[in-house]
């Protein structure tokens, strides 16, 4: 019975193909908007979180800041602070002091302005960054502060083009160093900066040749997997407060920024956008549903005599109801299917253009399909009931 | 006469059937209390001027309308006690309809029109196809299975309608002016076909008509006037 109703519904809709299509346009747009939005939203979120995790997972930045109150100066970190955190706080995988400055580097007749980072021990590990060519600094090189450097992909390309940078010499600010390693590509950061535009030198070298002090700008930490972040962050805070001689009534004069927090901010922005556009999609689905109801009412009127014939032949009210309900559901599902298809194609193209990953949520696709079916049932119910309640004699007489 | 045919219990038994429309002063008496028995295998014609109650009787017999008062037994079922679904099931399994205006589904082939009652009976598709082809062959339309009604003449359309009415093997065929839209030659062809089903299958037939020469095919003619049965006439037509 259902199979027949289905076949008849498809045929009856096929007879009025243009009308059917126009009717479902509202659903097409509604479902399409939802799917396109969710797909692109997920792509964007994923792009952002990929970038964040490319910083390293469970990354925490520590920066000195000015505490509140009079006479408070910025107290810089020392290398010792990073070591103390690694030593005293369980759950910290790596703790590395980092200083950086934008400087011009020169090789041959090429020059390039880039970020020069003074990296302590564990810098690459904390950022989960690999060297794909050459080697990293040895502990003794780090301690000695040798004139060696590791370059990022962008710097290598700008200075040496297709040439192998390993073993070449490069001038950083006022000193010359030998390139010993090439970093893996990391791409853009969440903030849109090129993470591969970087030169690493030992922190000791940086302090001696560039900054001239033993201060460090920041400390980068990476937490071990599966630890309670809140607790570890609190422990780090306590260790730093003690080291920085803060009494109980004084504010922190440093900031902890963890990557989870950055991610949360970004995803909540995307989510809000999704909710907003979801409301728009909801309205167009409602309009689409009303369109289906309208056209089904027209269809019931047009086919009154057919309904009469069916009733005379032995259709029960429920059979007629089912027939029109199935037709409404097929119509709505058709709209949903068109909407889903268009949205996926659109998202695929848009994702490529915007450089997001194409990341459809098939759960949402399924929900959208079920939802459009539900729209068919809800908005098809009233017309179907009207058809089922027709008086067979009146219906047969209808021209 | 044909008295021997009327043996045993009647298949259709109307007692004191009234049908009233409207309320109060606007009340119209369509049927003023009629009694009628139709025995299995009989062919009965209902005649009378318009408004005489023959169409109302037909609608009641067809379980499309219900009497305001009175009793209608079809076989061993008291129809007046049934709800809408019960009457629908009687139409589905026991009754076949032929209408003046053919009432075929447009844009659907002859074959599919004939299959329709079997669809509602839940007959599997394969068997439906076979039985519909067989029914079309019996009304002389073999080879026309895939024509849609607009490609068929009036006589052919009525044949399709007859095939549709008999395909589900009903006990009673109800024909409401089956020749009303046809010319004389076509009318007699259709009547020959209906008569054949009556004789060969002992299909009980109740037919409404206002043409005496069409009514003459029946064994009894029930004359209606003003909502009452005026007289019942035996035509002497052999069963």
Summarised one tens digit per residue, pLDDT across range A308-362 is 999 999 999 999 999 999 999 999 999 999 999 999 999 999 888 887 788 788 8
Kindly state the tokens that stand for A288: 């689409």
Residues in chain B with CB shorter than 8 Å from the CB of A309 are: 103-105
Inter-chain CB proximity A314 and B122 less than 8 Å? no
Average pLDDT over residues B110-124: 94
**Closest CB from B62, B88, B107 relative to A315:** B88
Residue B1 pLDDT > 50, yes or no? Answer: no
Q: How far apart are CA A235 and CA A220, in angstroms?
A: 15
Q: Which residue has the higher pLDDT, A92 or A187?
A: A92
Inter-chain CB proximity B92 and A4 less than 8 Å? no
Q: Could you tell me how many CB contacts below 8 A there are between chain A and chain B?
A: 58
A118 in Cβ contact with A219 (< 8 Å): no
- pLDDT at residue number B2: 44
Q: Which of A236-250, A257-271, B174-188 has the lowest mean pLDDT?
A: A257-271
- pLDDT at residue number B123: 93
- pLDDT at residue number A68: 60
Whole-Å CA distances, A263 to A62, A189, A391? 17, 12, 63
Residue A315 sits at the chain B interface (C-beta within 8 Å): yes
Please report, rounded to a whole number, the percentage of residues in chain B having pLDDT higher than 90: 86
Substitution target in B19, B30, B88, B125 with the highest count of A β-carbons within 10 Å is B88
A341 in Cβ contact with A360 (< 8 Å): no
Inter-chain CB proximity A313 and B92 less than 8 Å? yes
A75 in Cβ contact with A250 (< 8 Å): no
Nearest CA in chain A to B112: A8
Average pLDDT over chain B reads 92
Q: How far apart are CA A284 and CA B15, in angstroms?
A: 59
DSSP class per residue in A71-91: T-----EEHHHHHHHHHH-TT
Average pLDDT over residues A349-376: 86
The alpha carbon of residue B91 is apart from the nearest alpha carbon of chain A, in Å, by: 5
Inter-chain CB proximity B88 and A317 less than 8 Å? yes
Nearest CA in chain A to B121: A314
Contacts from A244-248 at CB under 8 Å and sequence distance 24+? A244/A75, A246/A67
Inter-chain CB proximity B103 and A308 less than 8 Å? yes
Query: Among all chains, which residue has been given the structure tokens 């710097």?
Result: A155
Average pLDDT over residues B119-135: 94
| Vertex A89: Cα angle to A87 and A92 (nearest 5) | 90
- pLDDT at residue number A190: 57
Residue A181 pLDDT > 70, yes or no? Answer: yes
Residue spans of the domains in chain B: they are 39-66+83-234
Backbone angles phi, psi at B234, to 5 degrees: -85, 125
Q: Which H or E element spans position B73? A: strand B69-74
Inter-chain CB proximity B93 and A314 less than 8 Å? yes
Inter-chain CB proximity B85 and A315 less than 8 Å? no
Residue spans of the domains in chain A: they are 2-51+264-397, 76-243
- pLDDT at residue number A54: 60
Coil, strand, or helix at residue B157?
helix
Kindly report, residue by residue over A66-89, the tens digit of the pLDDT: 766 555 677 888 888 888 888 888
Please report, rounded to a whole number, the percentage of residues in chain A having pLDDT higher than 90: 27
Nearest CA in chain B to A393: B64
Substitution target in A11, A304, A312 with the highest count of B β-carbons within 10 Å is A312
- pLDDT at residue number A51: 66
Average pLDDT over residues A146-172: 90
Residue A56 pLDDT > 60, yes or no? Answer: no
Residue A389 sits at the chain B interface (C-beta within 8 Å): no
Average pLDDT over residues B117-146: 94
Average pLDDT over residues B128-137: 96
Residue A242 pLDDT > 90, yes or no? Answer: no
ipTM exceeds 0.95: no
Residue B197 pLDDT > 80, yes or no? Answer: yes
- Under the banding of pLDDT at 50, 70 and 90, the label for residue A213 is confident
A369 in Cβ contact with A336 (< 8 Å): yes
Residue B25 pLDDT > 90, yes or no? Answer: no
Residues in chain B with CB shorter than 8 Å from the CB of A317 are: 84-85, 88
Could you list the beta-strand ranges (E) of A73-153.
77-78, 92-107, 110-119, 131-134, 148-151
Average pLDDT over residues A113-129: 85
Q: How far apart are CA B90 and CA B170, in angstroms?
A: 9
Inter-chain CB proximity B85 and A316 less than 8 Å? yes
Residues in chain A with CB shorter than 8 Å from the CB of B168 are: 314
Burial A116-140 (b: 16+ CB within 10 A, else e): bbbbbbbbbebbbbebebbebbeee
Does this model's pTM top 0.80? Answer: no
Residues in chain B with CB shorter than 8 Å from the CB of A315 are: 88, 92, 120
Q: Which residue has the higher pLDDT, A98 or A321?
A: A321
Q: B35: how many CB neighbours lie within 10 A of its CB? A: 12
- pLDDT at residue number A279: 83
Residue A247 pLDDT > 60, yes or no? Answer: yes
- Under the banding of pLDDT at 50, 70 and 90, the label for residue A387 is very high
- Under the banding of pLDDT at 50, 70 and 90, the label for residue A149 is very high
Residue A398 pLDDT > 50, yes or no? Answer: yes
Cα-Cα-Cα-Cα dihedral sign, residues A323, A329, A332, A338: negative
**Closest CB from B84, B85, B117 relative to A313:** B117
Inter-chain CB proximity A316 and B99 less than 8 Å? no
The alpha carbon of residue A296 is apart from the nearest alpha carbon of chain B, in Å, by: 18
Inter-chain CB proximity A315 and B97 less than 8 Å? no
- pLDDT at residue number A345: 94
- Under the banding of pLDDT at 50, 70 and 90, the label for residue A52 is low
- Under the banding of pLDDT at 50, 70 and 90, the label for residue B198 is very high
By C-alpha distance, which of A285, A381, A377, A380 is closest to A335? A285
Kindly state the tokens that stand for B72: 């209608």
Residues in chain B with CB shorter than 8 Å from the CB of A308 are: 103
Distance in Å from the first CA to the final CA of chain A: 27
Kindly state the tokens that stand for A135: 């080697």
- pLDDT at residue number B54: 92
Average pLDDT over chain A reads 85
Inter-chain CB proximity A314 and B117 less than 8 Å? yes
Q: How far apart are CA B46 and CA B52, in angstroms?
A: 10
**Closest CB from A305, A314, A393 relative to B88:** A314
Residue A399 pLDDT > 80, yes or no? Answer: no
Q: How far apart are CA B95 and CA A167, in angstroms?
A: 99
Residue A308 sits at the chain B interface (C-beta within 8 Å): yes
Q: B188: how many CB neighbours lie within 10 A of its CB? A: 16
Domain B39-66+83-234 sits in CATH at 3.40.50.300
Q: A187: how many CB neighbours lie within 10 A of its CB? A: 13
Q: Which H or E element spans position B208? A: strand B204-208
By C-alpha distance, which of A276, A266, A255 is closest to A75? A255
* Tally of helices (H runs) and strands (E runs) in chain A: 13, 12
The alpha carbon of residue A1 is apart from the nearest alpha carbon of chain B, in Å, by: 7
């Amino acid at each position: 019975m259902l199979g027949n109703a289905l076949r008849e519904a498809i045929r009856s809709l096929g007879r009025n193909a243009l009308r059917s299509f126009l009717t479902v346009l509202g659903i097409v747009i509604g479902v399409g908007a939802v799917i396109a939005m969710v797909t692109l939203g997920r792509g964007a979120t994923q792009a952002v979180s990929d970038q964040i995790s490319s910083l390293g997972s469970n990354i925490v930045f520590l920066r000195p800041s000015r505490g509140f109150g009079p006479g408070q100066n910025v107290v810089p970190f020392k290398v010792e602070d990073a070591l103390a955190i690694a030593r005293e706080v369980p759950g910290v995988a790596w703790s590395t002091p980092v200083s950086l400055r934008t400087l011009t580097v020169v090789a041959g007749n090429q020059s390039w302005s880039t970020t020069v980072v003074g990296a302590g021990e564990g810098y690459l590990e904390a950022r989960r960054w690999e060297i794909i060519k050459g080697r990293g600094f040895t502990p003794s090189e780090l301690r000695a502060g040798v004139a060696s450097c590791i370059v990022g992909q962008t710097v290598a390309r700008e200075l040496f083009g297709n040439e192998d940078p390993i073993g070449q010499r490069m001038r950083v600010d006022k000193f010359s160093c030998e390139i010993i390693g090439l970093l893996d590509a990391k791409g853009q950061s969440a903030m849109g900066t090129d993470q591969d535009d970087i030169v690493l030198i030992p922190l000791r070298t940086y302090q001696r040749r560039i900054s001239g002090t033993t201060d460090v700008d920041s400390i980068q930490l990476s937490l071990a997997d599966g630890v309670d972040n809140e607790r570890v962050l609190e422990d780090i805070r306590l260790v730093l407060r003690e080291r920085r001689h803060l009494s109980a009534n004084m504010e922190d004069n440093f900031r902890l920024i963890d990557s989870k927090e950055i991610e949360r901010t970004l995803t909540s922005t995307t989510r809000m956008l999704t909710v907003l556009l979801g409301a728009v999609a909801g309205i167009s689905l409602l309009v689409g549903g009303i369109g289906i109801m309208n056209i089904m009412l027209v269809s019931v009127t047009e086919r009154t005599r057919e309904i009469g014939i069916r009733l005379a032949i032995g259709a029960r009210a429920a059979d007629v109801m089912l027939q029109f309900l199935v037709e409404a559901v097929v119509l709505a599902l058709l709209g949903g299917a068109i909407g889903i298809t268009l949205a996926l194609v659109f998202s695929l193209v848009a994702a490529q253009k915007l450089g997001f990953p194409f990341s459809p949520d098939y759960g949402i696709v399924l929900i959208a399909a079920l939802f459009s079916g539900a729209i068919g049932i809800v908005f098809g119910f009233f017309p179907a009931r009207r058809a089922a309640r027709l008086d067979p004699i009146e219906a047969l007489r209808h021209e | 006469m044909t008295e021997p045919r009327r043996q045993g219990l009647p298949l259709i038994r109307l007692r004191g059937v009234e049908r009233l429309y409207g309320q109060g002063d606007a009340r119209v008496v369509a049927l003023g209390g009629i009694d009628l028995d139709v025995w299995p295998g009989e062919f009965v014609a209902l005649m009378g001027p318009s408004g005489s109650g023959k169409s109302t009787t037909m609608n009641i017999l067809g379980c499309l309308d219900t009497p305001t008062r009175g009793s209608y037994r079809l076989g061993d079922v008291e129809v007046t006690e049934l709800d809408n679904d019960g009457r629908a099931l009687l139409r589905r399994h026991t009754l076949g309809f032929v209408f003046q205006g053919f009432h075929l589904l447009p844009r659907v082939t002859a074959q599919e029109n004939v299959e329709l009652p079997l669809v509602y009976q839940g007959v599997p598709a394969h068997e439906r196809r076979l039985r519909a082809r067989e029914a079309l062959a019996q009304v002389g339309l073999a080879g026309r299975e895939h024509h849609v009604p607009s490609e068929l003449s009036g006589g052919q359309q009525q044949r399709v309608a007859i095939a549709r009415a008999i395909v589900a093997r009903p006990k009673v065929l109800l024909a409401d002016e089956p020749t009303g839209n046809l010319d004389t030659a076509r009318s007699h062809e259709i009547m020959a076909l209906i008569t054949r089903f009556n004789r060969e299958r002992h299909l009980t037939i109740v037919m409404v008509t206002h043409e005496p020469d069409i009514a003459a095919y029946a064994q009894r003619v029930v004359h209606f006037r003003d909502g009452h049965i005026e007289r019942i006439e035996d035509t002497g037509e052999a069963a």
